[in-house]
C-alpha cells in the first residue's frame, strides 16, 4: 500500500473504501469522512433505502449497496459489485451492528446470542474474506473492524455484545499476522458511547444519554460520530502506514477506569 499521500487530495485521495453498516451513525460518519478526505465510499447496508439517501448527499464518489453481512453470498456479491464499479478496493470498514439486547447467559435466547455474534464477528469475517483478495490484487490495503471499549472491559447484562466485540479485537490481530506480507494492514477501532440513533433504544434523547453515560468516560461526555470517523480515516490512510494488529481505543478514557 502507498505510504505517501495521493496527489488527488486528502488522506484518502484516490482510495476506494467499502463500509458496512453505512446508512447511519458511525458508518455514515465514516462514509462522509472518506469523501471529505478525497476517497470514494461504498455505503453497504441492510437498508438500501438508508444507504441510498446517504449516497444522494455524498455525490458521485459514493455508491449504495444492499448487503446482509451474515450471508456469504450477499457479501460476495456486494464486494464484487463495488470492485466492478470502481476497478479497485483499498479499504474495508466493518461497522455493521446488531440491535443488541440486554441479558445474562441465563436470560438470552440462543437466537439473540447468535444474532450478535453473526453480525459483529461473523460479519467481520465474511466482509474480510471477500475484500482482502481484491485489496491484494491491487497491491494492498487497510482493514478496520469496529469493535468497542467492551471488547476490553465488561458491563452488566451484555454477554453477547462483550463477547462479540472481544472476538472482533482478536480477529483483527490474527488477520494482521496473516496478511502483513500481502501489504494489508488490519486494525480494530473501539469507540466508547457515541451519540448515534442506537442510544435512542435506551434513552429518550441524546442529551439524556450524555447525562447518564458521559460520567463513565474520563472526558465527561460521550463521543460524536465524526470523532470516531476521524480515527477510522487515520487507520485507513498512509498516516497509519506502520500501524497494524492494534486496537485503537477512542473511548474518552472509559476503559482505564
- Strand pairing of 184-191 and 91-94? unpaired
Q: Find the catalytic residue in 18, 83, 150, 161.
A: 161
DSSP reduced 3-state for 183: coil
Pick the more confident residue, 1 or 67: 67
Question: Across residues 135-143, what is the average pLDDT?
Answer: 98
Q: State pLDDT tens for residues 202-240.
A: 999 999 999 999 999 999 999 999 999 999 999 999 999
Q: State pLDDT tens for residues 141-197.
A: 999 999 999 999 999 999 999 999 999 999 999 999 999 999 999 999 999 999 999
Q: Residue 135: its pLDDT value, please?
A: 98
Contacts of 26 (CB under 8 A, 6+ apart): 95, 146, 191, 194, 196, 225, 228, 229
Name the band, by pLDDT with cuts 50, 70 and 90, for residue 9: confident
Does 74 score more than 90 pLDDT? Answer: yes
254 is catalytic: no
Integer Cα distance of 74 and 131 in angstroms:
13
- For residues 39 and 179, is the Cβ–Cβ distance under 8 A? no
Q: Residue 1: its pLDDT value, please?
A: 36
Does 2 score more than 80 pLDDT? Answer: no
Contacts of 195 (CB under 8 A, 6+ apart): 206, 209, 210, 222, 223, 224, 225
Q: Note the helical H segments in the chain.
A: 25-36, 48-58, 72-86, 110-117, 123-137, 159-179, 206-213, 225-236
3-state secondary structure 85-149: HHCCCCEEEECCCCCCCCECCCCCCHHHHHHHHHHHHHHHHHHHHHHHHHHHHCCCEEEEEECCH
Mean pLDDT taken over the chain: 96
Match 470516531 to its residue by C-alpha cell. Answer: 228
Domains of the chain, each with CATH number or no CATH:
16-191+225-248 (3.40.50.720)
DSSP 8-class letter at 13: T
Does 3 score more than 90 pLDDT? Answer: no
Does 5 score more than 70 pLDDT? Answer: no
pTM of the model: 0.96
Question: Across residues 104-125, what is the average pLDDT?
Answer: 97
Closest to 51 measured CA to CA, from 39, 41, 65? 65
The CA-based dihedral angle spanning residues 214, 228, 189, 79, taken in that order and rounded to the nearest 10 degrees: 140
Does 6 score more than 60 pLDDT? Answer: no
Name the band, by pLDDT with cuts 50, 70 and 90, for residue 254: very high
- For residues 72 and 131, is the Cβ–Cβ distance under 8 A? no
Question: Across residues 121-125, what is the average pLDDT?
Answer: 98
Name the band, by pLDDT with cuts 50, 70 and 90, for residue 4: very low
Residue burial 109-139, b: 16+ Cβ < 10 Å; e: rest: eeebbebbbbbbbbbbbbbbebbbebbbeee
Amino acid at each position: 500500500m502507498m505510504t505517501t499521500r495521493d496527489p488527488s487530495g486528502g488522506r484518502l485521495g484516490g482510495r476506494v473504501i467499502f463500509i458496512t453498516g453505512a446508512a447511519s451513525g458511525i458508518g455514515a460518519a465514516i462514509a462522509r469522512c472518506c469523501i471529505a478526505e478525497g476517497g470514494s465510499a461504498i455505503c453497504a447496508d441492510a437498508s438500501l433505502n438508508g444507504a441510498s439517501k446517504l449516497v444522494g448527499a455524498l455525490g458521485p464518489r459514493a455508491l449504495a449497496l444492499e448487503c446482509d453481512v451474515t450471508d456469504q453470498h450477499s457479501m460476495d456479491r456486494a464486494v464484487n459489485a463495488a470492485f466492478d464499479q470502481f476497478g479497485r478496493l483499498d479499504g474495508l470498514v466493518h461497522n455493521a451492528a446488531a440491535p443488541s439486547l440486554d441479558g445474562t447467559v441465563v436470560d438470552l435466547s440462543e437466537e439473540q446470542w447468535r444474532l450478535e455474534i453473526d453480525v459483529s464477528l461473523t460479519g467481520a469475517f465474511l466482509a474480510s474474506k471477500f475484500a482482502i483478495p481484491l485489496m491484494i490484487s491491487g497491491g494492498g490495503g487497510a482493514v478496520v473492524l469496529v469493535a468497542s471499549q467492551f471488547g476490553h472491559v465488561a458491563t452488566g447484562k451484555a454477554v453477547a455484545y462483550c463477547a462479540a466485540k472481544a472476538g472482533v479485537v482478536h480477529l483483527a490481530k490474527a488477520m494482521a499476522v496473516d496478511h502483513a506480507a500481502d501489504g494489508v494492514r488490519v486494525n480494530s477501532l473501539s469507540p466508547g458511547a457515541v451519540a448515534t440513533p442506537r442510544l435512542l433504544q435506551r434513552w429518550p434523547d441524546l442529551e439524556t444519554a450524555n447525562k447518564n453515560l458521559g460520567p463513565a468516560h474520563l472526558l465527561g461526555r460521550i463521543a460524536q460520530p465524526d470523532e470516531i470517523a476521524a480515527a477510522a480515516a487515520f487507520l485507513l490512510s498512509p498516516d497509519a502506514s506502520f500501524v497494524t494488529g492494534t486496537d485503537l481505543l477512542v473511548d474518552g478514557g472509559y476503559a482505564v477506569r
